[in-house]
Amino acid sequence: MKRLLAALLPLVLAPAMGWAACSGQDLRKDLSAEAQQEIAQRMDHVPFAEGNHWIAKRGDRQIHLIGTVHISSDKLQRITQNLGPVIDSADVLLLESTPQEIADMQTALVKDPSLTFITEGPTLIDRLPAGDWAILSQKASEAGIPSWMAAKMRPWFLATALSLPPCLRADPEVEYGLDKRLAAMAQASEVPTQSLENPLDVIRMLDRDPIDEQLRQMRPYIALIGGSESGEDGIATMLAAYFEERVAEYLEITRLEFLSGASMPTKEAETIWNDFMGRLLKERNTAWMPVIEAQTADHMVIAVGALHLPGKHGLLQLLSDTGYKIERAAF
């Protein structure tokens, strides 16, 4: 699922990579008039389609919801400063996962490699046709992953490792997206932080399908990653849409690109897309709601990947459905 992960992980999960070494073009500028019209029509039906900062109010409770991006950009410095008073006045900052939770996850993965590697049974060399494996092993080598190691990686993990363009992997020191910046600000202001989920649960979600099913979903992307595209244009498009506060539009562009590029029947591709989005967004958003509602604090800040906010299964709609009044705030 390499291409899908490449497009969405920077907004939804948290790779500790930087943007400074990348260059790319905003793909929206090259969209056909027909594609632009289709995207605009679909956006008309997306709840809360625009906006990275919202306030939800119900009774005495007030929640600031901030859509973050997990990769760094110079533009985030101003945004972080603008959000300073919001963090300072909060009783608690809720993140997808706190820095400590992420550190604990990394320790757990080292202790239990079965979540990321094939520890028994056939490896990918034995499960894939020779031609498909040749493409994957070549791309793994280009990413600095020895072919023998790639063969033992679980498909979701290998897809993730290959998903980021080289420009991101080349600059690991520039690692602070908006979520990490806000977490650091909260720590400095002695505002407690809390995780909405155990990051290991996200890993288990990605690894939920049997290996052969993961490969079935991954194989349509093998031809795509055999091409010359680096993914830099996709990252450029994502960041441009984010700073315009239009991430739902970016998601729709990604969906259309995925469907048009997948080497499989459209219905099958749509099923894979919907299943992935259901896991990555809908399931997690739904699971977060009881955590949010259980908070005793009246003044909260929730900072999560921006794609978690819009849509009929987004956090904003879920909060609205439970009696919160939602209003857009300055970003």
Rounded Cα distance between 303 and 300, Å, is: 10
Given the structure tokens 């969405």, which residue do they identify?
8
Burial class (CB in 10 A: 0-12, 13-18, 19+), 78: exposed
In Å, what is the CA distance from 120 to each residue of 108, 135, 153, 204, 211? 19, 23, 11, 18, 11
Instruction: Determine how many CB atoms are found less than 10 A away from the CB of residue 270.
Output: 15
Name the β-bridge partners of 325.
57
Q: pLDDT per position in the chain (331 positions), as tens?
A: 444 444 444 544 444 334 445 678 888 888 889 889 999 999 999 999 999 999 999 999 999 999 999 888 889 999 999 999 999 999 999 999 998 998 898 888 888 888 889 999 999 999 999 988 998 898 888 777 899 999 999 998 888 777 766 666 665 544 679 999 999 999 999 999 999 999 999 889 889 889 988 888 775 555 444 443 456 787 788 889 999 999 999 999 888 887 887 778 889 888 888 888 898 899 999 999 999 999 999 999 999 999 999 999 999 999 999 999 999 999 9
Identify which of 261, 114, 87, 258 has the alpha carbon closest to the alpha carbon of residue 182.
Answer: 87
Instruction: Determine how many CB atoms are found less than 10 A away from the CB of residue 265.
Output: 9
